Amino acid sequence: MTSHTPDLAALDRLTRGRFTCRAYEHKALDAALIRSIVGMASRSASWCNVQPWQMVITETLESTERFREALMARASNHPESESDLPFPPHHKGIYGERRRGAGIALYTSLGIGPKDAERSAQQAFRNFRMFDAPHVAIVTVPAELGPYALVDAGGFVSSFLLAAYAHGVATTPQGALARHAYFVREYFGIPDTQHMICGISFGYAEAGHPVNQFRTTRAGVDDLVRFA
């Protein structure tokens, strides 16, 4: 690090420290804190600065609880996928290996073995409890803007996760919620001209919970870049 890069150590700490949280304290965040996180995330780059991202955020414990109950009922009664965007049918090869690695780390942290189908299903269903997070953000983009709006939204989601972490707030990006996009949009009055990307559950992490102890791995630089 040189005097030209005073923020390098901070960004290094933030990108190394952030993780997907799956157990939360039952404690609401101040509205000003949530607004500060969103404001920081909104500085993300986007194609021609169109800033296609939109969010609906549950502001109180009560509104989150009402949505949680409704979503769990929906997921129980209508388990089939109703997503705006197609989910990948499978992850083959190295992508399948990485997916399995993350899944094994998660389930092992909870003492759930590969043959324990019942507890695995219960843990998977905790997605629809939003892991008891005190808030959830629903991220959408206008359908008419096509794939590059999805690229922009991905950058925005990533910034939101880091901005939250920089504020001491833990996050769970959740594709699982987009599985019920039709329901989620209807619940929050989001028009079908918007496509739901994902949810982001967030709040203060339950720091000592076993599920928050494991960390995922990453491929090395040489595995993802070819210098030409």
Ligand X SMILES: Cc1cc2nc3c(=O)[nH]c(=O)nc-3n(C[C@H](O)[C@H](O)[C@H](O)COP(=O)(O)O)c2cc1C
Residue numbers of the site for ligand X (CB under 6 A)?
19-20, 22, 102, 127, 172-176, 198, 216
Tell me the closest approach of the beta carbon of residue 161 to ligand X, in angstroms. Answer: 8
**Smaller CB distance to ligand X: residue 140 or 174?**
174
Reduced to 3 states, what is the DSSP secondary structure of residue 137? Answer: strand
- C-alpha pair distances (Å), 69 with each of 47, 87, 97, 134: 37, 24, 34, 13
Nearest C-alpha neighbor of 178 from the set 60, 82, 59, 70: 82
Distance (Å, whole) CA 101 – CA 50: 36
**Smaller CB distance to ligand X: residue 13 or 60?**
13
Tell me the closest approach of the beta carbon of residue 201 to ligand X, in angstroms. Answer: 9
**Smaller CB distance to ligand X: residue 60 or 103?**
103
**Smaller CB distance to ligand X: residue 62 or 168?**
168
Tell me the closest approach of the beta carbon of residue 188 to ligand X, in angstroms. Answer: 18
**Smaller CB distance to ligand X: residue 28 or 165?**
165
Q: How many CB atoms lie within 10 A of CB 150?
A: 14
Query: Which residues make Cβ contacts (< 8 Å) with residue 50, sequence separation at least 6?
Result: 145, 149, 152
Tell me the closest approach of the beta carbon of residue 227 to ligand X, in angstroms. Answer: 25
Tell me the closest approach of the beta carbon of residue 173 to ligand X, in angstroms. Answer: 4
**Smaller CB distance to ligand X: residue 36 or 158?**
158
Edge-to-edge, what's the strand order for the sheet holding 54-57?
54-57, 135-142, 194-203, 170-174
The DSSP symbol for 88 reads: P
Residue closest to ligand X when measured from CB atoms: 176
Tell me the closest approach of the beta carbon of residue 105 to ligand X, in angstroms. Answer: 8
* Cross-strand pairs, 174: 199
Q: Which two tokens stand for residue 226?
A: 């070819």
